[in-house]
Amino acid sequence: MEFRKTHILSFIALLSCISVAHSWGVDGHFITCKLAQPRLSKAAANAVSELLGDNDLASLCSWADHVKFRYHWSSPLHYIDTPDNLCTYQYNNNLTEALLFLSHFIGDIHQPLHVGFTSDRGGNTIDVHWYTRKALLHHVWDDSIIETAEERFYDSNVDELINTLHKNISTVWANQAKAWEACSKTACPDIYASEGIKVACDWAYKGVSEGSVLEDDYFLSRYPVVNMRLAQGGVRLAATLNRIFG
């Protein structure tokens, strides 16, 4: 287990070094971990079970958001900021907690506005309206797009959304999923962050300014992007844990 602990902690340290706070909302993290669980190798699944006991990984995937006030050092690890309008990314305890941080941070790095611009704190200072409700642009990507999709398409049932993503990963995204898994190291956060800032520029920030009203045009064009990032996060979390635990 010491070997495994070293690999998990090394990955968390790597995220820290790239100066990676808000995050995917509860549903976003739940979905990411739920997508990862059935893709775990037997060794990885056994290791996760040993660390978490009777707890389900997905149910604990937001744990890192709840301990920011206890572990103050962890708060800046949930995001990466880039210089304004630079739409490319450049690299610059115990084992159970390490696993939960790792699972959470892989989800976070796939939320595009966690690689957002410095001056607006990843959309946290951009006030918009999500349909008729006031919201921050960051919150729209953390929660609102996912919640609106659940309400509109899945009768507010997150499990139905997860089932759809599972099916897409094994069918329409099957070839892409193999590419998402590929990594010559334990994990490849530089790749994930590079994708994130491109999505932030192309989709999250595009056409949005202070006071924008975001409705169906924005939602229907951005929802597939959110789905893809959730799927990528789940596939890569599983692949990372499989590499760690063998």
Average pLDDT over the chain, rounded to an integer: 87
pLDDT of residue 98: 84
Strand partners, 134: 129
Interval 14-20 mean pLDDT:
42
CB 116 within 8 A of CB 190: no
Q: What is the pLDDT of residue 66?
A: 74
Q: The domain 2-245: what is its CATH number? A: 1.10.575.10
Measured over all CA atoms, what is the biggest interatomic distance in the chain, rounded to whole angstroms?
52
102-136 residue pLDDT tens: 999 999 999 999 999 999 999 999 999 999 999 99
Asked if 8 and 65 count as a contact pair (C-beta separation under 8 A), the reply is: no
Higher per-residue pLDDT: 93 or 115: 115
Q: What is the DSSP letter of 230?
A: H
